[in-house]
Amino acid sequence: MNKDQKSEAIELLKSKFAQYSNFYITNTESLSVAQVNDLRKICFDKKVEMKVAKNTLIRKALESLDSEKYAGVFDALSGVTALMFSDSPKEPALIISSFRKANNKLEKPVLKAAFVADEIYVGDNQLVALTNIKTKNELIGEVIGLLQSPAKRVIAALLEKGKKEEAAVEAPAAE
């Protein structure tokens, strides 16, 4: 790879890091070509971009954007690295988990680090926590549900009171 190609790769990576607020750093070493292709297809279907890049190029791209902000992920840049970019904070974690289960509880790809909403998660042991993160839409749904709950109770109580009053008015008329 010559200097121009490296510069072009760094610029591409910088644009991806700027475009997405969530990215995962994984190790796909020891996966077969067929398994990597399956993983890429799953990512494509779930609207997650998967890129394989050299660690030094990833590091240079992150450093040129904000070296302090991304400092926690630099230690994860070793070995074979595949990046997963997503608008959803948990979709890559779900993909990794389901891919492992579908492949006889395979332990690859390994989560080396994740950058989710300005938080850094380091290590494969963080995968479960990342699959449980609530998306923006899930949080909005929960808030709406909580807001609707008291209103539903008030409406139900008013309807119940109305039925009782209606029954009381009809009962003497029946006699």
pLDDT digits (tens, 9 = 90+) for 26-76: 999 989 999 999 999 999 999 999 999 999 999 999 999 999 999 999 999
Q: What are phi and psi of 30, to 5 degrees?
A: 75, 5
- 């891919």: which residue's tokens? 99
% of residues, the chain, pLDDT over 90 = 67
The pLDDT score that the predictor gives to residue 47 is 96
The pLDDT score that the predictor gives to residue 146 is 74
Q: Where are the domains of the chain?
A: 3-133, 134-175
Amino acid identity for residue 9 in this structure: A
Of 41, 46, 48, 43, which Cα lies nearest the Cα of 16?
Answer: 48
CATH architecture, range 3-133: 2-Layer Sandwich (3.30)
Measured distance CA(12)–CA(7) in Å, rounded: 9
Distances, alpha carbon 141 to alpha carbons 40, 89, 164, in Å: 31, 16, 34
Measured distance CA(136)–CA(91) in Å, rounded: 12
The pLDDT score that the predictor gives to residue 58 is 96
Query: 50 CB contacts (<8 Å, ≥6 apart)?
Result: 39, 40, 43, 44, 82, 83, 84, 85
The pLDDT score that the predictor gives to residue 172 is 61
Q: Where are the alpha helices (DSSP H) in 20-90?
A: 33-45, 55-66
What mean pLDDT value characterizes the chain?
A: 89
